[in-house]
Chain A
Amino acid sequence: MLTMGLDIGSRSTKCVILDDGQMLTYGTIETGSDSVKTAYAAVDAAVHRRIELWGEYRIELPDVRTDHLKIEDMACVIATGYGRAVVPFAHGTITEISCHARGAQWMVPGVASILDMGGQDCKAMRLGERGEVTNFVLNDKCAGGTGRFLEIIADGLKVPLLKIGELSKKSTKHIHFVAACAVHAKRETLAMMKQGESKADILAGLHESISGRVVSLVKRVGLADKFVITGGISKNVGMVAKIEEKLGGLKAHISAEPQIAGAVGAALFAFDRAKKKVT
């Protein structure tokens, strides 16, 4: 039985197809201005196994053909994320909080605390023993601590986004950033460049400042030993190292494909529903 989860995020859209709850294929594309077109394009990316945005597949996929699959072949489709309401072929929508929690559990069984650092928001979730969400906090009012923040800074420093984490780890000097605000941080960054500070040191200072912010979110919902970071920023090794340091050396579990947690969760919920219908 095939089920689909579609996560229309603010920056990227992910589509996951499961076969009886097992990963069959997934794909990703950049979110466009038209969410309906974006939804169809993400399905196309999944069936043709394209994830151009992220380079290569990091989860091994079963060696079967998927390029003949159509939306009609799906027993159930669940949409999540910012654009979830406008997916014309979805059978239902579920909030990204629930989907992320479910997806994170699929990736790391027994997970208890989740930090999701996405393109335009950042959320922390606490799960109960049965995997139910018992508490969460969400920052979607401010770009501080989001992917967009890092994008702006990377842009200002002219360093590719995917390289900033690594570069920040080469820092030799501590620079303190006051700003939690992206607009202020951009100004501060430019001022520091002018003063001749190295890009590595500037990036380290910013990673320090952002990690402090997001760690406070995790602490608010309650920190547990089995801790997962999902979302695009979890690919940033510099940020993950800073967060771990601030959590007293607690090791964060990072999935091979941390951005698809929401879509995986949606596809699992779709599987639940489809099973109910059959029985």
Chain B
Amino acid sequence: MNMAAVAGIDMGALFTKVVILDDDKTLAAVCLDIGDDFQTEAVQASNEALKQAGLKREDVKHVIATGAGNKQVRAALEERSIEERSIAICTAKGAAYFFPQARAVLDAGADSVTAMRLAADGSLEASAGHGKCASFTGLFLDYLGGMMRIPVNDMGAEAQKATDPQAVASRCAVFAVAEIISLIHRVPAIPVPDILAGIHEAMASGLHGVSQKVGMQSDVVLCGGVARNIDVVRRLEAKLGAPVLIPKDPQILGALGAALFAQQALARAARLLPEPLTGGGAKC
């Protein structure tokens, strides 16, 4: 079956992710943090994805937007036919696509943590989250890494060198900074990897706490930017008592799920309207 190209756009708090699918081929998967407002980022990330896919705007027949800034996409791309879906539903869809055996998903993003339980058919059954503050989120790592002058992408590997992890009691990022300063200034100074391991241990217990709100144990997919931190992953696995499943690109599950929904919508519309579609796509 030759389907038309569709796109999913996930406007996260930090990163904007775009996936373009054609049938079962992924033509583009883009993950950008330009640090600009939602609308500018939506335009730039979409253009980047189209370039990667070698497509023109009109080649993409349907678009679904998700994530914190999903409402902004329509205005940014001046496309009224864009639909919005919740990020939990899209992430669950993306996770089930990569891992059909998955029964739970833990999405550890930049500014929120969401735990999802999946039904046998891969659809979302229950979800619970934490998003009121930066504890246990990517921003928590970003804030503390920034203060210790360690790039957030290096924190995981660096922490694995720890020999004597130091407990960090504060769950508030601001108070954790004060706590860490006192560890750094201790005589003799606490080695940086030991402090990082303590930060990651606090993260892992927070993530584990959220995961238990929906009672997950095994066959857990871990996604979101935090899944790139190997030390947090290992500590979380120890608490769950089972390895977690991590997709190759842990940040694009939401955008992928959105693109899969776009594909379904298009197929449904094609059945209802036998003649070829024109313009912006289907409305269901």
Interface residues of chain A, those whose CB is within 8 Å of chain B, are: 10, 33, 120, 141-144, 148-149, 152, 180-184, 187, 191, 194-195
Contacts and interface: CB of A to CB of B under 8 A. Distances in A.
10 contacts: A33-B182, A120-B175, A142-B133, A180-B132, A182-B173, A183-B143, A183-B174, A184-B139, A187-B111, A194-B36
Given A194-B37, A195-B37, A149 B174 contact: yes
A181 B133 contact: yes
B235 interface: no
A181 B132 contact: yes
Interface string B4-42: 000000000100000000000000000000001100000
A148 B176 CA distance: 12
Nearest to B182: A33
B67 to A, nearest CB: 15
Interface in B124-182: 132-134, 139-140, 143, 171-175, 178, 182
Contacts of A33: 182, 185
Contacts of B174: 143, 148-149, 152, 182-183
A153 B6 CA distance: 42
A148 B170 CA distance: 15
Interface residues of B, number: 18
Contacts of A191: 37
Contact of B134 (A10, A148, A181, A195): A181
Given A120-B175, A141-B175, A194-B37, 17 more contacts: A120-B178, A142-B171, A142-B175, A144-B133, A148-B174, A180-B133, A181-B132, A181-B134, A181-B172, A182-B134, A182-B172, A182-B173, A182-B174, A183-B133, A183-B139, A183-B143, A184-B133
Nearest to A34: B185
B interface: dominant SS: loop
Given A143-B175, A148-B174, A184 B37 contact: no
A180 B139 CA distance: 15
A141 B132 CA distance: 13
B174 to A, nearest CB: 4
A183 B173 contact: yes
Q: Would you list the 7 A-B pairs with minimal beta carbon distance, nearest first?
A: A181-B133, A143-B174, A183-B134, A142-B172, A183-B173, A182-B174, A143-B172
Contacts of B134: 181-184
Contacts of B185: 33
Contact of B171 (A120, A141, A144, A180): A141
A46 B174 CA distance: 31
A180 B134 CA distance: 10
A196 B132 CA distance: 26
Contacts of A181: 132-134, 172-173
Nearest to A179: B133
A183 B175 CA distance: 11
Nearest to B112: A184
Interface string B35-57: 01100000000000000000000
Contacts of A143: 172-175
Nearest to B137: A183
